[in-house]
Amino acid sequence: MRMRKKRHGNERLEALDALFLHSEGEIWTDVPSHFEKDQPLRIEIGCGKGGFIAGISKAQPEYNWLAVEKISDVMVCAVEKYAGDRGLGNLGYHGGWQAPDGTVYKDGQTWDIPMADRGNVRFTIGDAAEVLSHLPEGSVDAIYANFSDPWPKKGYADRRLTSPVFLKEYLRVLRPGGAFRFKTDNEVLFDYSLETIEASPFRMTFCTRDLHSSERAAENIMTEYERNFSEKGVLIKSLEAVKD
């Protein structure tokens, strides 16, 4: 995802830092303790501007959600969207983040958002491969990858989020019965993903080349890329694979 550099991007992230998990420290050995409720953990890899995580976390409050994004300027949009949707304030008129009580957090100040108001999403900036490597075996209920980069050159195939390297890591962190869910506009990446999943211990439980006409259309939460592609008439491909 290409984006112009966000003005005061770091400062804006600092203001909402209470919603973040950072990769340093012991944080990953006990992810549930960073949420208000002890409930199953689901992960979105490459959350982009955050439309999906904002929507699904609201639709499915019975899960804790971790949104992973490697580009910090993109993450600014995601966390601010989530915070805004949850009634946690808005961008300040003269910069910074304005909390509902009118306090503006800027110039590197962090708002210590009460745990009860943080909701069921935490964000982390980093590469998914690294984040997943910190997570204990069997600690994740489901993993979502939406419109991930296709990395068309063969030499970069390991970076595709459905490469055997990533699938192996998903199988490690997922609990038995846990699911991997994938959506894409890209036919070539989808065909590749069907092959890699077929060759893995995952069991395919859902597969369609036209998600919006499928039996899962009603429950589908659109991402920003998904909206763009479907407005152009591109059919959305989707699959679900379960770890037995």
Ligand X SMILES: C[S@@+](CC[C@H](N)C(=O)[O-])C[C@H]1O[C@@H](n2cnc3c(N)ncnc32)[C@H](O)[C@@H]1O
User: Would you please indicate which residues are annotated as catalytic (active-site) residues?
Assistant: 149
In order of 126, 135, 136, 138, 139, the CA distances from 169 in angstroms are 16, 10, 11, 11, 12
Does 146 bind ligand X (CB under 6 A)? Our answer is: yes
Does 144 bind ligand X (CB under 6 A)? Our answer is: no
In the complex, the smallest distance separating the C-beta of residue 3 from ligand X, rounded to whole angstroms, is: 8
In the complex, the smallest distance separating the C-beta of residue 172 from ligand X, rounded to whole angstroms, is: 16
Tokens of 93: 């008129």
Q: Who's near 93: CB < 8 A, 6+ residues apart?
A: none
Does 45 bind ligand X (CB under 6 A)? Our answer is: yes
> CA 141, CA 39: separation in Å to the nearest integer?
10
> CA 9, CA 15: separation in Å to the nearest integer?
10
Does 111 bind ligand X (CB under 6 A)? Our answer is: no
Applying CB under 6 A, which of residues 16, 48, 73, 82 lies at the interface with ligand X?
Answer: 48
Does 119 bind ligand X (CB under 6 A)? Our answer is: no
Does 46 bind ligand X (CB under 6 A)? Our answer is: yes
Scanning residues 74 to 93, which ones bind ligand X (CB under 6 A)? 74
Query: Which residue, 99 or 221, has its beta carbon nearer to ligand X?
Result: 221
Applying CB under 6 A, which of residues 8, 70, 106, 212 lies at the interface with ligand X?
Answer: 70
**Helices 51-59 & 72-85 angle (0-180, nearest 10):** 40
Three-state SS sequence of 39-74: CCEEEEECCCCCHHHHHHHHHCCCCEEEEEECCHHH
> CA 137, CA 52: separation in Å to the nearest integer?
26
Query: Which residue, 74 or 167, has its beta carbon nearer to ligand X?
Result: 74
Contact stretch for ligand X (CB under 6 A) within 4-12, 25-33, 146-154, 186-194: 146-154
Using only C-alpha atoms, what is the Rg of the chain?
A: 18
The binding site for ligand X (CB under 6 A) comprises 1, 45-48, 68-71, 74, 127-129, 146-149, 223-226
